[in-house]
Structure 1
Amino acid sequence: MNRVFCLDTSVLVSYLVPDEHEPQADTLVLEAVSGAARLVAPAFAWAEIGSVLRKKIRMDLLTAEQAQGCYEDFCNLPIDYINEESVRMRSWELALQYQLPTLYDAAFLAVAESESAQFWTIDRVLLNQLSPRPAYVHELGE
């Protein structure tokens, strides 16, 4: 296992939610599930995924049963949750550097940096804020 992926919530939701599947998201996650790569994420990622799924219920995009199934699938992924003080501090620095409004995206970036991971996202707003874009940041579909 030599590749390390830090997948943004947008990529994970794309993998989990049937109507939002992106083939490349499936490929990245399945590579990790097979043991060919390692998945890393900030310690709070489970709550962020759950919140997105709960929002999809409120917006009538998923039933409660569908969302629960997606959340259970997420909980079964082999993710190494990273919760280091250095990541928390680097998140703050990255948020300042890129003028990010919250630390959520910055924490994913900091985890990717600390674990020498490829960070993958579909979030165009985030990508537009990352100027210059770090070499470890990749857009799904590029």
Structure 2
Amino acid sequence: MEEAVPKQSIAFNQKFGDTIKYDSYCNGVKYLTNVYPGILEVCYMFAKNLIYLHEILKEEEDNDERCRYFNFWITDHVKKKLKTEWNDHRYITSILSGFYGVENLIRASTHNNNCHFDYKRYYCPFRQEYPYDKGD
């Protein structure tokens, strides 16, 4: 049975606003737009959420927990897209490595963000549950 994504992750679904702020971070995934419609919008949300993570989850004081919620959110979001809209699964690693590249650009340009997109730990296309337990 699939577990619900933590309620803290709901805050990540807010729209990103002005795409110009995030466009340079998402250049590396633009080539995927023909195969995965809407991937730029997901990338803009990813970039916005990572940049403003400390504000979006300000009630969560533990930065490691913020990062975990962020990772749960993007993993769940991509998995849902792959199940419903993105039917071509040949480039899953390109999607994930693209978001990893976005994360690296953001981390290099901001000094207050040390959250890591841990797709190797959290993403498995066949896994139905999420490793919410801290010991996982």
Is TM-score (shorter-chain normalized) higher than 0.5? Answer: no
TM-score by length of 1: 0.31
Question: By percentage of residues, which structure has more strand?
Answer: 1
The alignment's TM-score, normalised by the length of structure 2, stands at 0.32
